[in-house]
Amino acid sequence: MRRQRTGRVTCPPAWQNASTGAQGFNSPHHHRSARHLRGCGWRKPRDTIWPAATPLPLKTRFCSVLPLLLVVLLAPVRAASEGAATEPQWVPLFNGKDLSGFKREGAAAFWRIEDGVLVGENDAAKTGHYLWTEKAYGDFVLEFDVRWTTTTPRGVDTGIEMRQPRLQLQLGVSGSLRVDMTGSFYTGGKPAYPEAGQAKTAKELMHPEGQWNTFRIQAKGDTFTCWINGTKASEYTDPKFSGAAPLGLQIHGGVEMKVEFRNLRIAEQ
């Protein structure tokens, strides 16, 4: 609002409704002009009617909310795409029909397929065996279902071998400790089962013996992680185990045992 040279406030031109006599001001900013009227010495009569604000056209209102609407609608799509990007690119490690992708030498005496399940069972001499993949793996995520039933006091002793030098994820009873160390990492050194790599809550995470349990193993750089039925159970870090190597499913020697695997799948990282 301009001020005259005398310093007095210049008042906006007044208007008066011819039918009602109501007074107002021809200011495009009438909602702000009222704050400045005191400088003109004017006081609002009781029956003064301010000009009503012109409503926005429907098209204008729609355009103003369109960006927000698009954000709401596209949020699930974005979340799904981000989830797809982080989900491993799985490929079957076992096809449910035969031992394609595995080294078959000597395997027939210990491994068989029953209804899409890979069954490993020791021979009468309890010789023991490793079923090795033909391919070597460095960084990977391996997922599988496994189950077993103990038939002797010794218990089932199996596991998944990985990397070079060899590192094992224990499944069942440790031969050296005679304790169930399922989900723990076995190094073969001293200590054989480093405390940092032990799955101390494995019993709480697993279903009763004889039922299927889902395991996920991740080998990434020098860190090895195990999940049991969707919950992180153990993690072990050691740069020593850095070399790529075939994966091995174990039937421990000297043990009367049977173990079953299904839904084996792997994703390289």
Residues 6+ apart with CB under 8 A from 127: 109, 110, 253
Task: Report pLDDT digits (tens) over 134-155.
Answer: 999 999 999 999 999 999 999 9
Is residue 257 within 8 A of residue 127, CB to CB? The reply is no
Task: Using the Cα atoms of residue 9, residue 12, residue 16 and residue 17 in order, give the sign of their dihedral.
Answer: negative
Is residue 102 domain-shared with residue 169, that is, in the same domain? yes
**Structural domain of residue 65, as residue ranges?**
59-87
Report residue 113 CA to chain centroid gap: 32
More confidently predicted of 64 and 95: 95
117 and 29 inside one domain: no
Overall average pLDDT of the 262-268 stretch: 98
pLDDT tens, residue by residue, 32-64: 455 554 555 555 555 555 555 566 666 666 566
pLDDT at 103 over 70: yes
| For range 228-254, the mean pLDDT | 98
Confidence of residue 29 (pLDDT cuts 50, 70, 90): very low
Instruction: Give residue 86's pLDDT.
Output: 75
| Average of per-residue pLDDT values in the chain | 83
The confidence score (pLDDT) of residue 160 equals 98
Classify residue 251 as exposed, middle or buried by CB count within 10 Å of its CB (0-12, 13-18, 19+). buried
For residue 263, is pLDDT > 90?
yes
Same domain, yes or no: 77 and 185: no
- In a shared domain, residues 36 and 101: no
Looking at the fold, whether 101 and 74 belong to one and the same domain comes out as no
- Of residues 43 and 84, more confidently modeled: 43
Band (pLDDT 50/70/90 cuts) for residue 81 is very low
Q: Tell me, yes or no, whether 75 and 97 share the same domain.
A: no
